Structure 1
Amino acid sequence: MKTRIAVFSDVHGNLSAMRAMYRDSRQQHVDQYWFVGDLLMPGPSVSEIWRLLKIINPSVIVRGNWDDLVVNGVRGKIDVKYPSHIYFARLAQYVGQSAPRGMVDEIASWPLHVTKKVGPLNFGISHNLPWLNMGQDLFPTQSTKNFDQVFTPADPPIDVAIYAHVHHEIMRYASDERIVMNPGAVGEPFNGWDKLHRDMRAHYLVIEVDDLGMASVNFRHVGYDRKAEQAIADQSAVPYVELYDLMMHTGRAYTHDPEKLTRLNQKYGYATQYLDYCKRLGQN
């Protein structure tokens, strides 16, 4: 018996890319979906993406670091000491003001790590490390011993580990030759090598498992209209729309660009807006 699984992650609020991924996955006749974290921010879409996630109805969901930022920011628990913190906080405020009822609490309940048996294989799924959904331990150029960490003790043992977070598609081996895979990013794929980075299509992964193991592995790249996504942002009230528009053009994220963030934070008073939002939360 064969099972086809669409594995996707790192949508980051990009509705156009998520729609394209979903359309393509239906053409691949997948049987189930696994979502490996980071649904929202910095893109403009919130309720539309949440509705689409419910339609997709993943059988596996794990919580990413940006999902934590959404939860903590909506609940008023991000400080505004640094430009990037203001960026996360103000974007989360926008999400909180647009979120369907119950969405934030549901995201907060997502686990960090899930084990799933398909056919003869035991898969371990997490956004980054099984116990930590942030950091650069699993950046593609890190050593093999770093990737050994994704195989936490389990009974039966994990055969294939799947993670996300680094926005690069990956298939490699651990020290004992178990397989590590990453679907790449739906909304924000990137690569340090310019010619490879030019492929800014929505990236995801289709795995077919049969009675012997993984019968096929298909890294999918699906085109979509980036100008249309930019138009969605321009017609919304999403903060930092200038940076999102720029990302649609360059494919680069500006999450840790203090110069750009400081300029926009000062121009719009984003820190004050978030602190006022936190005060209103305290009054309710």
Structure 2
Amino acid sequence: MLNRVAVLSDVHGVLPALEAVLAEPEVAAADRIVLTGDIAAGPQPVQVLDRLLGLGGRVVWVGGNADRELVEHRRGGSGPSPDPVVPWAAEQLRPDLLDLLARLPRSVTLPVRGLGAVLFCHATPRDDEEVVLVDSRPDRWREVFTGLAPEVRTVVCGHTHMPFVRLAHGRLVANPGSVGMPYGRPGAHWALLGPGTDLRVTAFDPAAATAAVSRDSAYPDAAAWADHYLYARSTDTEAHEAFAPRDGRTAPPR
């Protein structure tokens, strides 16, 4: 049984944001650091992956859709990406890092004190791209929980970059938000589990972080990318409006 678990989601290849969270005393002291996907698709993919690999067995890795897309791009399994940072980041990866991302599981279940069996995934337990939001309807939650083991009473996901905690059909659901691409407010968002579910945000200097990304990344649009995301220029309202149709509220569930 794990006493404390730090959950980091959607790092998106931003090393300064990751370093800010790793410097948190409660992250340093956690029994495990769980990554719930979309780890490397951003301006510093190699630096982020190497930093996390350096933490050794304390890190539990879960893959997200963007991690899968990096592998697919390099191995010819996908078409053009709508996000230009994805093909660029894919080309930066060494073969060992590509193999690492290709092996990532879509979910992991761990026992956490006070929460029991906790399932960690990227988007939903059954799919790495499905959308669920804090206000998704009960039928939507029932749908995405289909096939989930009854002993799993807590689900931790990511994908939408907006933090929330809610109950859905007796299960506690938590989204820690995004470390590297937050929507709504600046800062590196994460969560601490055990015995409760605490949403956290680590403040850092967005100007200094943007300068560091611009200096250390070879991505041609690194400065503009970092300025947009590290200052959280996409609001949570805009993100919610973009994601909402994909949770089935205006179209039949897929």
What whole-Å deviation, never above 9, does each CA across 1:147-179 have from its counterpart, x for those lacking one?
Answer: 23443445562111111111111111112x221
Determine which structure has more spread, i.e. the larger CA radius of gyration: 1
Give the aligned residue type for 2:232.
Answer: G
1:118 deviates by 3.0
- Which residue in 2 is equivalent to 1:226? 206
Partner of 1:95, secondary structure, is helix
Match of 2:156 in 1: 162
- Residue in 2 aligned with 1:200? 186
Cα separation, 2, equivalents of 1:153 and 1:135 = 15
Shift of 1:106: 1.2
1:237 to 211, 218, 221: 218
**Equivalent residue for 1:251?**
232
Match of 1:87 in 2: 83
The one-character-per-residue Cα deviations of 1:170-228 (angstroms, maximum 9, x if unpaired) are: 111112x22111111111121xxxxxx2x3110100112xxxxxx33321110112222
Deviations 1:62-82 (A, max 9, x none): 1111111111122233323xx
Root-mean-square deviation (CA), in Å? 2.6
Matches of 2:176 and 2:119 in 1, distance apart? 14
Aligned AA (1:189):
P
Letter in 2 for 1:52: R
| 1:227 to 1:103, Cα distance in 2 relative to 1, 3 A | same
Contact 2:16 2:213 in 1 (8 A): no
SS at match of 1:102: helix
Q: Does 1:56 find its partner at 2:55?
A: yes
1:181 to 174, 181, 206: 174
Q: Which runs of 4+ in 1 moved over 6 A?
A: none
Check conservation: 1:94, 1:239, Cα contact below 8 A: no
Post-superposition Cα deviations, 1:92-141, rounded to whole Å, max 9, x if no partner, equal 443244323411111111111222223471111110122211132x0223
Residue 36 of structure 2: aligned partner = 36
* 2:107 matched residue in structure 1: 113
Q: 1:127 to 1:86 in 2, by over 3 A?
A: closer
Aligned-partner Cα distance in 2 for 1:187–1:251: 10
Provide the rounded CA distance (Å) in 2 between the counterparts of 1:73 and 1:243. Answer: 23
Structure 1 segments unaligned to the other structure (5+ residues): 191-196, 209-214, 254-284
Question: How many Å separate the matches in 1 of 2:111 and 2:27?
Answer: 24
CA–CA distance in structure 2, aligned partners of residues 54 and 26 of structure 1: 19
How far apart are residue 251 of structure 1 and its match?
1.3
CA distance in 2, matches of 1:63, 1:145: 26
Q: Counterpart of 1:133 in structure 2: which amino acid?
A: D
Residue 139 of structure 1, aligned match among 121, 129, 133? 133
Distance apart, 1:2 and its partner CA: 6.6
Instruction: Determine if contact 1:124/1:160 at 8 Å carries over to the other structure.
Output: yes
1:185 partner amino acid: S
The code of the aligned residue for 1:167 comes to H
Distance in structure 2 (CA, Å) of the matches to 1:245 and 1:60: 27
CA contact 1:159–1:178 (8 Å) conserved in 2 = yes
